[in-house]
Amino acid sequence: AALPLAALLALAIGLFSLRVAAIFFAMITLAVASAFQVLASQLSWLTGGEDGRSFQLPELLRPGTVLISKNLLGFEINGRILTFYLVLAVSALMILALLRVVNSPFGRVLQAIRENRFRAEALGFRTVFHLTYANCLAALVAASAGILNALWLRYAGPDTSLSFSIMLDILLMVVIGGMGTIYGAIIGATIFILAQNYLQSLMGVASKAASEAGLPLLPGLLHPDRWLLWLGLLFIASVYFFPTGVVGRLRNAGRDKSAGASH
């Protein structure tokens, strides 16, 4: 029921918000997301309120279910590992489906609307229909990602689905990888998750090495507790040196190389 509901809400919100463009469209969608977070926190009879709702997975996907014992392969395959590969497979299928949409005639029209909406309208394309349809597709993909996230966490709540920090994390992933590309989102998410999981450990090693070397100030600056500060600095540096993201920078470098070779 989550997917049809997401599509209907996206249709209604899309028809309302597509009257504006650029930063104003982003502000409206952000306001709607914040409103739904508050709504999810208040409707405790349906969503569990601030506590959210936990649920039981099918027996096949439960961590205690052993599919292949350790004696056979040297490592155990249980329901938790099966859940991981299920999430990975569905995510890969969604990425392939999105790539197909981008490279379809519908996707080409969306690119034309992005470049010049007035010209696309002059060519006879119904831009409102295409943008609303794209909004519904985005809502379906986002709802599917939320379902996979709830499946992995075995819990669904406002803080894990609709919080402002999650929106910022997604924005960081897209900006780092490169906006307007599917591959950019994948690369940005990979870099962001690696930084979240390993930056603190690397800073601990660097702080210890600086302390042993007797360097002033550096041990304190590189203390693992300040990993969020350095993560923010890395984000600022990536925006400064890669304004079009990693993928955009690589594409521009490839174009410059091709242009140089042609000359």
Of the candidates 167, 135, 94, the residue with the CA atom closest to the CA atom of residue 6: 135
Distance CA 66, CA 129 (A): 49
Q: How confident is the model at residue 167, as a pLDDT?
A: 81
Regarding whether 43 and 1 lie in a shared domain, the answer is yes
25-30 long-range contacts, CB within 8 A, separation 24+: 30/167
Greater confidence (5 vs 163) lies with 163
Distance CA 123, CA 196 (A): 46
Domain count, the chain: 2
Average pLDDT score over residue span 139-157: 86
Regarding whether 188 and 156 lie in a shared domain, the answer is no
Give me 102's structure tokens: 């981008």
pLDDT in tens, 203-247: 888 888 888 887 777 778 888 888 888 888 888 887 787 777 777
Q: How confident is the model at residue 20, as a pLDDT?
A: 66
pLDDT band at 6 (very low <50, low <70, confident <90, very high): low
Give me 141's structure tokens: 């993909």
What is the extent of the structural domain holding 11? 1-162
- Residues paired with residue 156 on neighbouring β-strands, in sequence order: 53
Regarding whether 151 and 194 lie in a shared domain, the answer is no
207, 218 Cβ separation under 8 angstroms:
yes
Regarding whether 149 and 170 lie in a shared domain, the answer is no
Regarding whether 122 and 31 lie in a shared domain, the answer is yes
Q: How confident is the model at residue 96, as a pLDDT?
A: 93
Q: How confident is the model at residue 204, as a pLDDT?
A: 84
pLDDT band at 117 (very low <50, low <70, confident <90, very high): confident
Regarding whether 173 and 116 lie in a shared domain, the answer is no
- Residues paired with residue 77 on neighbouring β-strands, in sequence order: 68
Of the candidates 64, 105, 97, 69, the residue with the CA atom closest to the CA atom of residue 83: 64
pTM listed for this prediction: 0.79
